[in-house]
Chain A
């Protein structure tokens, strides 16, 4: 038996040093967290202070006016964002859910693993590359920029986000639920929709909100697909269409085929213009954008957590 190993070591001095190091370093990590939060608070505060001044009813209702003319707004951007996000959702959400179910059923197959892999790869592709892809596929063949092209690239951006979160949520549903339904003779698709999806619904909705938050904030892919349009106004298209007796599909076609603006696009344009009024307005756009994105992001998560606490007590 070796003699007392601690005879060679001054225990109390060792202890004190170790404890000091421990407290110092752990305190440091707390400091880094504070430092990390500072930019967030700074941005939020700045955006609120500078953007608040610009927000009024005109901001939401009117199209941009020429420089120096008061009363301009960014309704083109707001409407454009809404239209494109709707297009993106209609395409991305059903496909994402189908993919999520596929990954639920066949997680370990070759195809299943490649799908999971592709989803991750897709989420890592820079959005500007997706924009170039959208340009080549949706703009060049028809020789003009359009809202539907923007919507499609946003769908590609939304897709991996919704797939990943939906898959997680579906996996959480206990398999006894699925087995019970199948044992009653229900076909797989009915089980998926009426049982699994319903059980995972809140989580899936949260995932969709996160995808929307992502899509609303994207600029790069829209640069070459939607391009921007200071005169984009859905309401006027509808009005025009009714006045000239156009069909529903014609009006819809017009809404989707015009180039369009979006909140982040407008922000990008205005922020770099030499006119102070435009820069001011860009802060207002930033405020709207931040509110939307943060509400969707944090709001959906807290709602989910709240619902979970409710059902599990």
Chain B
């Protein structure tokens, strides 16, 4: 027994000790995993910290009035007077309109993709939705300026100004005339609608797909039509997920920069009408940061970035929680 030579030679003593210590290299491995993972956590915190710190001059100068709609809503770099309300309003109104249009649309698309599409169409259609989401923002902007605005936005704007715009109460929001180029908050809202649709549609589609087949079978076996099954069983079951998709879309819309800044005009008119140019939080940063005239100016812009950061973090967290809750519901009691 002892004179049989082993196929596996013995390691030297030193080597054995080293292997034991590092657990054959796993100590380093586990360490690397741990550090990398911590890195991402630290990164998020650092981003928050940096925007917080670098916005200090502006925060101290303006306090809460910075975001107030009632303080003098003036953004004037020359006079070092900064109130973010015009850009906050711009973000809110454009995103709101975009969601209003995109949500029913996207849910309809999701229903088709999840429930109705014949198997041969399923993959190409899903790819097309992915492509819509993959188109870079600047390309949307380029197409927006030279094609979408003159051909779609301008006519719509003219129609709006001639109908809603002349009704006394509404003229604040819909008063024209829309600039000949079509550059307006409306343009931004409509482009956002297109850009946000694939996000909401894809998440909603996945929510529907997560609902087990047995629910559909139960409803159909009772003689319900396909639409009745969708409306009465699937949508209620997936409602929190759909809501999560909408909130995710809202976050995307608020954070969207390039396409918006190319079609919104970036003038601080302070005008509430959607037919007029304006700002969003993201677009004002993109437009002015590189040429900020003073430290207070930069700091004010960074404070806007801070607002963006906080808002999108909150929206994302809520959205995630909602989408998760659907999965919990469908997986068991």
Contact = CB atoms under 8 A, between A and B. Distances in A.
Q: Do chains A and B touch in the complex (CB under 8 A)?
A: yes
Interface of A: 18-19, 21-22, 25-26, 28-30, 32-33, 35-37, 39-40, 42-43, 46-47, 95, 98-99, 101-103, 105, 111-112, 114-115, 117-122, 124-130, 132-133, 135-137, 156, 159-160, 163, 187-190, 192, 213, 216-220, 223-224, 227, 264, 267-268, 271-272, 279, 282-283, 286, 289-290, 293-294, 297-298, 301-302, 305
Interface stretch (B58-66, B128-136, B161-169, B172-180): B128-136
Contacts, number: 248
Given A26-B226, A105-B33, A136-B54, A36 B26 contact: no
B50 A136 contact: yes
A267 B108 contact: no
Contact of B132 (A39, A101, A117, A286): A39
Given A136-B50, A294-B134, 12 more contacts: A22-B225, A25-B227, A28-B108, A121-B317, A124-B313, A124-B316, A160-B40, A188-B26, A267-B138, A268-B258, A282-B142, A286-B143
- The list of the 4 closest CB pairs from A to B, nearest first, reads A126-B255, A217-B136, A124-B316, A189-B29
Contact of A98 (B32, B46, B47, B127): B32
Contacts of B40: 95, 99, 115, 118-119, 122, 159-160, 163
Given A37-B128, A95-B39, A128-B282, A32 B109 contact: yes
B270 to A, nearest CB: 22
B272 interface: no
B286 to A, nearest CB: 6
B32 to A, nearest CB: 6
A279 B54 CA distance: 36
B95 to A, nearest CB: 12
17 contacts: A19-B225, A22-B228, A28-B108, A29-B109, A37-B128, A43-B140, A124-B313, A126-B282, A127-B257, A132-B50, A160-B40, A190-B24, A217-B134, A223-B289, A267-B139, A272-B145, A282-B142
A129 B128 contact: no
Contacts of A19: 225
B214 interface: no
B50 A290 contact: no
B134 A121 contact: no
Given A118-B44, A126-B282, A36 B109 contact: yes
Contact of A125 (B25, B137, B312): B312
Given A115-B37, A130-B47, A163-B40, A29 B143 contact: no
Most buried by B among A35, A46, A102: A102
Most buried by A among B137, B226, B254: B137
B290 A36 contact: no
B128 to A, nearest CB: 5
B327 to A, nearest CB: 14
A129 B138 contact: no
Contacts of A220: 137, 257-258, 282, 286
B225 A102 contact: no
A120 B314 CA distance: 12
B78 interface: no
B215 interface: no
B257 to A, nearest CB: 4
B23 interface: yes
B333 to A, nearest CB: 20
A118 B313 CA distance: 10
A216 to B, nearest CB: 8
A122 B44 contact: yes
B135 A33 contact: no
A218 B136 contact: yes
Interface string B285-312: 1100110000000000110010011001
